[in-house]
Amino acid sequence: MSIRVYFEDTDAGGVVYYANYLRFCERARTEWLRAKGFSQQALIDESAIAFVVRRLAADYRGSARLDDELEILTSIERIGGASIVFAQRVQRGPSCLFEARVTVACIDLGKHAATAIPMAIRQRLSSPH
């Protein structure tokens, strides 16, 4: 996913505020799921499940600035019974500015507890296309 850095994304020093990298990654995961055929709203409405962040490890490697064009790369590192580990990178050209490993848990919204990822979802997420 490509994004442009806007003024609202920057701090007083003119660089992207650190928490905004997490927002960029959240959007990229949502669009990645959409490209795989899943709308988060449809998962809620039709299956009463949602994916929520359970764990996050992040490394800040560089600074993005106003008007930079960034690429957010998202891939699945591992699919567990009730969780998915995403590997994400924010790049400006070939330079990596931010890396994260994000573990999301599949939760049953009625029970407010972790639940197994439905097989149909697991299969589609595991496919290369």
Catalytic residues: 11
Can you give the length of the chain in residues?
A: 129
Q: How far is CA 53 from CA 2, 14, 36, 64, 68, in A?
A: 22, 28, 19, 24, 27
The answer to whether 53 and 104 have CB atoms below 8 angstroms apart is yes
Contacts of 10 (CB under 8 A, 6+ apart): 16, 17, 65, 66
Residue 89: in which H helix or E strand, if any?
Answer: strand 83-92
